[in-house]
């Protein structure tokens, strides 16, 4: 279930304006905010945002936007031929967004709101490393220039008011293209030499947290992470305090122990899940790691004959 993008409670003090303000659904967890208005009076607004990623595309404006207490965006693009500067701001927690503009000012912009659930579902391992490096804390910001074709498409979508299916498909394609372009920009950011080892460690931790290693060799894992085998082994020893093979074996034993305690499975089943063909080898490894027999994990099970579970 995606996190909500817009809360129900807003504090707003708004002057009159003419034009369009549209909040359009793209897909679960993503909204497309499209604005083309002229203020007839001084304008101010304030509202609370839930955790999310904001991508703001000011197209023509002298309005001032403030995100949390850290970032201010002043619309400064007046010619359609000028590059569109995109700004991504990461809301790790609920915080304010505020806006203000003077009377008779035209404001044109697109803002894409992405729930963190949606963001996480779209991040592959290598993308996640770059994303988490760029957006490490609340209100982290990243600016970049959109490619010409995306800037032109932003202009077309902003100036068009249509709720047809084809228009909805175009908006979805645009949002995904902007998202892909952001990830491309993040992955192209140069790393300082001193950061490389830290990034390799982060990459390994994210991989072990989010990806399955079942049936994969160390060579497979190294290829997935874009490392040489020797770099993978060195990074694992530094980060995990042991070889990666040993870590993976012990992690399976911990998972087997949890299943024995909670799921009432047999020792034979636990051995198989931990990658052991013979229960005796599993019991030996289990005893070496935990200092006790797997039968001990099963003793607390009510009305269970431990011998039958073997």
pLDDT in tens, 12-59: 344 477 888 899 999 999 999 999 988 888 878 888 999 999 999 988
pLDDT at position 195 is: 52
Give the burial string for 146-174 (b: 16+ CB within 10 Å, else e).
Answer: beeebbebbbebbeeeeeeeeebebbeeb
> Alpha helix (H) ranges present in 188-243?
193-210, 218-225, 229-240
Residue percentage of the chain with pLDDT more than 70: 83
Q: Which pLDDT score, from 0 to 100, does residue 205 have?
A: 80
The per-residue pLDDT for 4 is 40
Residues 280-286: contacts with CB under 8 Å, at least 24 apart: 282/256, 285/249, 285/253, 286/253, 286/256, 286/257
**Predicted local distance difference test score (pLDDT) of residue 5:** 42
Q: What local confidence, expressed as pLDDT, does residue 7 receive?
A: 36
CATH class of the domain whose range is 10-187:
mainly beta
Which position has the token pair 């952001």?
A: 182
In 9-125, which ranges are E strands? Answer: 10-13, 17-27, 30-39, 43-49, 52-60, 64-67, 71-74, 85-91, 95-101, 106-115
- Which residue pairs from 285-293 have beta carbons closer than 8 angstroms and sit at least 24 positions apart in sequence? 285/249, 285/253, 286/253, 286/256, 286/257, 289/250, 289/253, 290/253, 290/257
Q: Is the separation of the CB atoms in 38 and 73 below 8 Å?
A: no
* Domains of the chain by residue range: 10-187, 193-241, 245-309
Partners of 101 in beta bridges: 43
Q: What is the mean pLDDT of each successive set of 10 residues along the chain, which is 310 residues long?
A: 38 62 94 90 86 92 73 55 84 88 84 96 88 88 91 91 85 97 89 57 77 84 86 88 91 88 84 90 91 78 39
| Residues making up the chain, counted from first to last | 310
The overall pTM is greater than 0.85? no
Q: What is the pLDDT of residue 297?
A: 75
Q: Check residue 19 and report its DSSP letter.
A: E
CB 103 within 8 A of CB 15: yes
SS3 261: helix
Report pLDDT digits (tens) over 50-72. Answer: 999 999 998 887 777 777 766 66
Question: Looking at the domain 245-309, which fold is it?
Answer: Arc Repressor Mutant, subunit A (1.10.10)
């Amino acid at each position: 279930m995606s996190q909500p993008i817009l809360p129900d409670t807003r504090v707003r003090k708004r002057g009159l304006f003419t034009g369009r303000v549209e909040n359009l659904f793209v897909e679960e967890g993503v909204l497309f905010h499209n604005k083309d208005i002229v203020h007839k009076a001084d304008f101010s607004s304030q509202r609370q945002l839930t955790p999310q990623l904001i991508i703001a595309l000011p197209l023509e404006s002298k309005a001032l936007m403030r995100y949390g207490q850290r970032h201010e965006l002043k619309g400064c693009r007046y010619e359609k031929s000028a590059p569109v500067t995109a700004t991504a701001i990461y809301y790790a927690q609920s915080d304010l967004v505020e806006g203000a503009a003077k009377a008779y000012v035209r404001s044109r912009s697109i803002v894409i709101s992405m729930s963190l659930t949606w963001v996480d579902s779209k991040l592959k391992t290598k993308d996640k490393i770059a994303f988490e490096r760029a957006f490490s804390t609340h209100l982290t910001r990243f600016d970049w220039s959109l490619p010409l074709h995306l800037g032109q498409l932003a202009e077309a979508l902003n100036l068009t008011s249509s709720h047809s299916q084809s228009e909805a498909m175009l908006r979805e394609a645009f949002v995904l293209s902007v998202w892909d372009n952001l990830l491309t920009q993040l992955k192209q950011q140069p790393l300082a030499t001193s950061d490389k080892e830290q990034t390799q460690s982060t990459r390994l931790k994210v991989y072990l947290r989010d990806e399955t290693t079942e049936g994969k060799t160390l060579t497979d894992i190294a290829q997935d992470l874009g490392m040489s085998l020797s770099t993978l082994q060195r990074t694992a020893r530094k980060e995990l305090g042991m070889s990666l093979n040993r870590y993976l074996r012990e992690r399976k034993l911990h998972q087997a122990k949890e299943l024995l305690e909670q799921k009432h499975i047999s020792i034979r089943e636990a051995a198989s899940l931990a990658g052991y063909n013979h229960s005796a080898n599993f019991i030996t490894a289990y005893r070496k790691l935990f200092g006790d027999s797997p039968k001990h994990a099963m003793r607390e099970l009510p009305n269970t004959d431990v011998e039958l579970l073997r």
